[in-house]
Amino acid sequence: MARLGLLITSDCFASQTLSSVLCFAKAALAQGHQLDHVFLYQDAVYAVAAEQDLPADEPDVSAELCQFCQQQQIDLLFCVTAAEKRGVISPSRPAKAGYIAAGLAEFAMRQANIDKLVQF
């Protein structure tokens, strides 16, 4: 079985990206694959904003993904530079709990530990 990394680059609130990632991750694990990490980059970093105000009838898929990754012990990383550049995080505005700040260098080094990278 393969060891996978997941890369999310698209805006998670403009599409069903996080739902697709969550479904894919569950299916991959069910088929015996391993997930090394999930990395949010570019507009996907909007999902780590702690101050999200979602409508009451809309599920918080960002929190669901975080909970899933914690249960499965999968590192859930986001590009700190992309988040800072977009105003998602700052010294007075931390990231949502469970998301780990990382840089592109760390992301690049993790590619040596996986067989395939799947981008959403």
Active-site choice (12, 66, 69, 79): 79
pLDDT of residue 73: 97
Question: Per-10-residue mean pLDDT for the chain, 120 residues long?
Answer: 97 89 98 98 94 79 96 98 96 94 97 97
pLDDT of residue 59: 85
pLDDT of residue 48: 95
* Known catalytic residue at 69: no
- CATH code where residue 106 lies: 3.40.1260.10
Q: What domain range is 32 assigned to?
A: 3-119
pLDDT of residue 54: 74
Count of structural domains within the chain: 1
HSE-CB of 27 using CA atoms within 13 angstroms: 6
Question: In the chain, how long is the greatest CA-to-CA distance?
Answer: 43
pLDDT of residue 14: 78
